[in-house]
Amino acid sequence: MSIEIIQALNDIDLQKCLKIRKEVFVEEQKVPLEEEVDRFEKSSTHFLAFYQKEPVATGRYRISGGILKFERFAVLFNFRGKGIAKVLFKDMFKEGRKKYPHHLPFLSAQVQVLGFYKKFGWIVISDVYMDAGIEHVMMIYPPKNQKEIEELICLKELDTPKEIIHYFKQRM
């Protein structure tokens, strides 16, 4: 199995990411294109996964205040179940945490793939809500200890989502 993950550093790679997302989210899941492609494309760090040298999966992360948001994970239909998403997610997470160690890892997960994220230690912190016509929940990667909690930037900000604040108030 030949999986390679790269950071999309140029417009050609970004277009490959957007093509995969369009196929998965717009064509397969019927998300409107204007909701799928957003104002955060340029400010996000995009990743591209190749399987046997073919671009087949993508994802991105971005900073929103003190939160490290992982989003827009997409694997082309014919390449699911090959471990590509696992390799992509692990690489993105490792890179994001290294670069932003004091930002809380966060994602808005489609309910249908909750099990995937839970395997990595992510936890659900919200009720189910609709986003682009698909059921989602908020998830975080919880800090390992009190020191990590105290270093989180998001807990010092006023615009942190109430679900995050509520989760940490229960644990402090």
Is 61 within 8 Å of 44 (Cβ atoms)? Answer: yes
Count of CA atoms in the C-beta half-sphere (13 A) of 8? 26
Convert the pLDDT of each residue in 52-65 to its tens digit. Answer: 999 999 999 999 99
pTM score = 0.93
- CA-closest candidate to residue 104, choices 73, 63, 145: 63
Query: Quick one: pLDDT at residue 169?
Result: 84
* Average pLDDT rounded to a whole number, residues 25-51: 93
CATH for 3-169 is: 3.40.630.30
Give SS3 for 127.
coil
pLDDT for 67 beyond 70: yes
- How sure is the predictor about 40, in pLDDT bands with cuts at 50, 70 and 90? very high
> pLDDT digits over 108-156, tens only?
999 999 999 999 999 999 999 999 889 999 999 999 999 999 999 999 9
The rounded distance, in Å, linking the Cα atoms of 100 and 116 is 23
Tokens of 146: 């009190």
Rounded Cα–Cα distance for residues 164 and 167 (Å): 5
Q: What is the mean pLDDT of residues 9-36?
A: 94
Indicate the residue type of 139: M
> Which whole number is the average pLDDT over 163-171?
88
**pLDDT the model gives residue 100:** 97
- Residue 1: what pLDDT? 64
Pull the structure tokens for residue 6.
Answer: 């790269």
How far apart are the C-alpha atoms of 125 and 104, rounded to whole Å?
A: 13
Which percentage of the chain shows pLDDT scores above 90? 87
